[in-house]
Amino acid sequence: MGERLAFTFALTGRREWGHGTQGVALGSGLVGLSARTNSAIYSPTVNDYTPAGGFQPVQTPPYIRPPHFASKVSYNAGAAKLCRAFANHTNFQHKIKQYKHMRKAILAILLAAPAMMAQAQTAGGGISADMLKNIKAAQPQNTTAMRNALANTSIAQLATVANNPMNSDRYFSNKVESKGITDQQSSGRCWLFTGLNVMRAKMIKKYNLGSFQFSQSYCFFYDQLEKSNLFLQAVIDNASKPMSDKTVEWLFKNPLSDGGTFCGVQDVVMKYGLVPAEVMPESYAANNTSRMSQLIALKLREYGLKLRDMAAKGSKKDALKKEKTQMLATVYHMLAICLGEPPTEFTWTRKDANGKPVETKKFTPLSFYQTYIGADLKNNYLMFMNDPSRPYHKTYTIDLDRHSYDGAQWTYLNLPMDEIKAMAAASIKDSTMMYMSCDVNKFINPKTGVESLQNYDYGSLFNTTFPMNKADRIRTFASASSHAMTLMAVDIAADGKFNKWMVENSWGATSGYQGHLIMTDEWFDEYMFRLVVEKRFVPAATLKLFEQKPTLLPAWDPLFAGEE
């Protein structure tokens, strides 16, 4: 159905032109009629007007909304004829007088509107002069020294609690040994480093290796390629939806990320295998991912728009798939330029902890994975989360929260902290590291590597309190999982109480405590969010809970951003 024009009273005597709004003068600056687009009212032209019957509803002729100046001239000429037709109508002069009075009343209201609006804003919740006076009167006295201190010192430094005993306690009753600290540098690949560190600890112990690392660049290459395909295919799948659709909007806001979760480790390693770090070493772009990721994401957004346009014009699935393949070829090229092209075959010599060669063999990435790891990552691990803002003992899955289109959707079981910690302790006692993630920067002392709620006293510094609990912080976007690390030690008291935990980090050997972070049990309760555990450490009753149908949460749920 075409657009029609609705005639309404205007407050101007000028001819006006704009997007969807046109005005025509009816007298010497007195009152006018304004035509604006509307889908269900009148669409008059000069020929449609009759003194007896008025205007008849008709379809808007193409020249009513001219796209350029020449059409505007034609419109104005027609408008002038229209005005003359009005003037000849017997009742028109009487109507003009009525409209003059109406115009004066409306004009008076409009002139008074700014003052009325300002008054309403203040009365309805703005800061008035009296309120500001009360705010100032409520300020604590004698804060000059504190103000002077904060002028040249950081808030964290002034709020630091002196002599926190946890900053010097390094004892752990149970610990998984590790060799070598990794460094993700300026990248968001903590999830990948953590997942690979869990596997390398097993390999080091089983084969009595010295310091050893898997190639993070190799896995990252295919992660970025798979994520690019996930985005492009999701665009095709949702091509019939408008750009304003929440899912489409989320896709174009998040076409690519170097962050992720354990399901990315599962997808990439099971599909593409592993290689030692020396076979595909780190590059500058691998250690500093932002510019590469920005450029690929820009290309993906361009490609996403093209695929939507092709789908809108009726392109079939085969044509879209062919176009997507060409797009991914460009992404592959960009990745290969930045990271190097992944090897398909290599020769590697295994050495023992003393550096003595043990054997030399030729491998493919998949055969290397099967030889030295061999675990079924997709079926041997379960993901748990502590989210007190949602019901416990329920499973949840997050839409589009996977690293590859044909990969596993991240599904987790929400449990209380005491149940999660029991499984974590059982795993550590068996010398098995775990993938965990937390809100790492809360109450962290970067010099000692200790995370403790007693590290900083912000309340005393600002003469207030910060009483929100974990559920409140989640609901109000104040806290969420931000960084993944390898859980590898726990200190358990004689009465079975957990005192503290330790993780192997991926910020280099000089960060924290020799490349590790130590977390008090109280901190662990408040800021630990995710834990991945082998099935053998999960109680039978807990395993049974995974049989329920998970609740699907949207991809934009604030708690489920990838770890970086």
**pLDDT tops 60 at residue 291:** yes
**Where does the pLDDT of residue 132 fall: very low under 50, low under 70, confident under 90, or very high at 90 and above?**
very high
- Higher per-residue confidence, 47 vs 302: 302
Mean pLDDT for the stretch of residues 542-561: 86
Question: How much is the mean pLDDT over the chain?
Answer: 83
Which pLDDT does position 473 carry in this prediction? 95
- Distances in Å between the Cα of 491 and the Cα atoms of 32, 436, 484, 532 are 83, 17, 20, 20
Q: How far apart are CA 431 and CA 33, in angstroms?
A: 83
Which of 41-50, 66-75, 535-544: highest mean pLDDT?
535-544
Token pair of 342, please? 């992944």
Residue in the block written with tokens 């346009």: 309
Task: Report whether 395 contacts 545 (CB < 8 A).
Answer: yes
- Higher per-residue confidence, 20 vs 383: 383
Which pLDDT does position 556 carry in this prediction? 82
Which pLDDT does position 4 carry in this prediction? 34
**pLDDT tops 70 at residue 118:** no
Q: How far apart are CA 7 and CA 450, in angstroms?
A: 71
Mean pLDDT for the stretch of residues 497-521: 96
Task: Report whether 488 contacts 503 (CB < 8 A).
Answer: yes
Reported as half-sphere exposure (CB side, CA atoms, 13 A), residue 40 has a value of 0
Contacts for 279 with CB less than 8 Å, ≥ 6 apart = 215, 218, 343, 346, 348
Mean pLDDT for the stretch of residues 317-325: 97
Q: Other C-beta atoms within 10 Å of 22: how many?
A: 23
The length of the chain, given as a count of residues? 564
CA pseudo-torsion sign 140, 146, 150, 156: negative
Mean pLDDT for the stretch of residues 544-559: 87
**pLDDT tops 70 at residue 45:** no
Nearest Cα neighbor of 438 from 472, 510, 498, 486 is 486
Q: Which long-range contacts (CB under 8 A, 24 or more apart) does 128-136 make?
A: none
DSSP output for 349-375? EEE-TTS-EEEEEEE-HHHHHHHHT--
- Higher per-residue confidence, 413 vs 4: 413
Active centre residues (catalytic):
190, 483, 505
CA pseudo-torsion sign 237, 241, 247, 253: positive
CA pseudo-torsion sign 274, 277, 278, 281: positive
**Where does the pLDDT of residue 402 fall: very low under 50, low under 70, confident under 90, or very high at 90 and above?**
confident
Which pLDDT does position 114 carry in this prediction? 56
Q: For 219-266, what is each residue's pLDDT tens digit?
A: 999 999 999 999 999 999 999 999 999 999 999 999 999 999 999 999
Mean pLDDT for the stretch of residues 302-307: 98
**Where does the pLDDT of residue 554 fall: very low under 50, low under 70, confident under 90, or very high at 90 and above?**
confident
Contacts for 455 with CB less than 8 Å, ≥ 6 apart = 160, 161, 164, 167, 443, 444, 445
- Higher per-residue confidence, 555 vs 313: 313
How many whole angstroms from its chain centre is CA 60? 45
β pairing state of 528-534 and 516-520: unpaired
- Cα angle value 529/533/538 (rounded, 5°): 110
Q: H or E stretch including 303?
A: helix 290-312
Task: Report whether 338 contacts 285 (CB < 8 A).
Answer: yes
Mean pLDDT for the stretch of residues 35-41: 36
Mean pLDDT for the stretch of residues 454-475: 95
Task: Report whether 542 contacts 424 (CB < 8 A).
Answer: no
Which pLDDT does position 59 carry in this prediction? 41
Q: For 414-461, what is each residue's pLDDT tens digit?
A: 999 999 999 999 999 999 999 999 999 999 999 999 999 999 999 999
Which pLDDT does position 29 carry in this prediction? 36
**Where does the pLDDT of residue 38 fall: very low under 50, low under 70, confident under 90, or very high at 90 and above?**
very low
Q: Which long-range contacts (CB under 8 A, 24 or more apart) does 26-32 make?
A: 26/83, 26/86, 26/96, 27/96, 30/96, 30/99, 30/100, 30/103, 31/96, 31/99, 31/100, 31/102, 31/103
Helices (H), 347-437: 365-372, 417-429
Mean pLDDT for the stretch of residues 47-51: 39
Nearest Cα neighbor of 218 from 262, 277, 263 is 277
Q: For 61-113, what is each residue's pLDDT tens digit?
A: 433 333 333 333 344 444 444 445 444 544 545 555 665 666 665 565 556 55
- Higher per-residue confidence, 320 vs 408: 320
Which pLDDT does position 76 carry in this prediction? 46
Which pLDDT does position 349 carry in this prediction? 97
Q: How far apart are CA 146 and CA 140, in angstroms?
A: 11
Which pLDDT does position 121 carry in this prediction? 52
- Higher per-residue confidence, 203 vs 74: 203
Token pair of 231, please? 């985005």
Which pLDDT does position 410 carry in this prediction? 79
Q: For 173-195, what is each residue's pLDDT tens digit?
A: 999 988 889 999 999 999 999 99
Which pLDDT does position 401 carry in this prediction? 77
Which pLDDT does position 58 carry in this prediction? 38
Confidence (pTM): 0.77
Which pLDDT does position 548 carry in this prediction? 96
Which pLDDT does position 561 carry in this prediction? 59
